[in-house]
Amino acid sequence: MSLSIHEKEKRGKKISKILAELYPDPPIPLEHEDAFTLLVAVLLSAQCTDIRVNQVSKILFAKAKTPTKMLKLGVEKIRDIIRPCGLSERKSQNIYDLSRILLEHYDGQVPQTAEELEALPGVGEKTAAVVLMQAFNIPSFPVDTHILRLANRWGLSESSNPSIVSRELKQIFPKSSWAKLHLQIIFFGREHCKARSHDGNKCPICRHFSS
């Protein structure tokens, strides 16, 4: 049975309180120095763990942490370095191509609108939202697999479409909480509310909403 927006907001307040107690100051998982290195790190994170991305990006950024240096490095060397992250052929080409576009059209700077970011090779809605939020402090609510799963599990959304889930979560939670809440839900999903072997009666949040 679907919850009303009032019931979702009430549930959202309870969830926010629990998450704030568990993760009062959640760190940004992907290590980066600026908007460009964050953009590259998020691209690398597709189907790869944050731990692996941080290991690989450290090596990559030691050689090239600007669009200019990334172009000089070249696709093949980028691919060789990022191979442990998986999908290296596609990711290396995207990193090279977006570096070229940033230099040709944005003076080497990462744009600050969702439309411009999503027009870059390999950049989708979630990646753009992460960059806007974490690099430029522009309110966004990126939805990854953890947030999608938990939003459904907690009755905050019934959709499997990340774009729709993002819009629904924005209606439930105050804009000022989005950046921290996004990270809190991800950490909670990894540690307490996993996709498999989940016990709703023991979960710190799900146990409050089980019927």
Helix, strand, coil share of the chain (percent; to 5) = 65, 0, 35
Full DSSP string of 79-123 = HHHHGGGS-HHHHHHHHHHHHHHHHHHSTTPPP-SHHHHHTSTT-
* Coil, helix or strand at residue 208: helix
pLDDT of residue 199: 82
Place of tokens 């992250």: 85
Angle at CA of residue 93, ends 90 and 94, nearest 5°: 85
The answer on 62 and 86 residing in a single domain is yes
- Which residue in this structure is represented by tokens 């939202």? 129
pLDDT digits (tens, 9 = 90+) for 109-164: 999 999 999 999 999 999 999 999 999 999 999 998 899 999 999 999 999 999 99
Residue 65 and residue 118 in one domain: yes
C-beta atoms surrounding 146 within 10 Å? 18
Tell me the residue type at 53: V
State which of 101, 136, 171 marks the end of a domain.
136
**Residues 37 and 61: beta-carbon distance below 8 Å:** yes
Does residue 98 share a domain with residue 149?
A: no
| Number of folded domains that form the chain | 2
At 13, which helix (H) or strand (E)? helix 5-22
Residue 195 has pLDDT above 90, yes or no: no
Residues 18 and 105 in one domain: no
Q: Which of 144, 170, 180, 194 is catalytic?
A: 144
Q: What is the CATH number of the domain that holds 9?
A: 1.10.1670.10
Q: What pTM does this model have?
A: 0.88
144 catalytic, yes or no? yes
pLDDT one-digit tens code per residue, 55-109:
999 999 999 999 999 999 999 999 999 999 999 999 999 999 999 999 999 999 9
Domain residues for 165?
5-27+140-208
Q: Specify the CATH number for the domain of residue 94.
A: 1.10.340.30
Question: Is residue 34 annotated as part of the catalytic site, yes or no?
Answer: no
Which of 136, 156, 186 represents a domain boundary (last residue)?
Answer: 136
Domain boundary among 136, 151, 170: 136
- Per-residue pLDDT band for 1 (boundaries 50, 70, 90) equals low
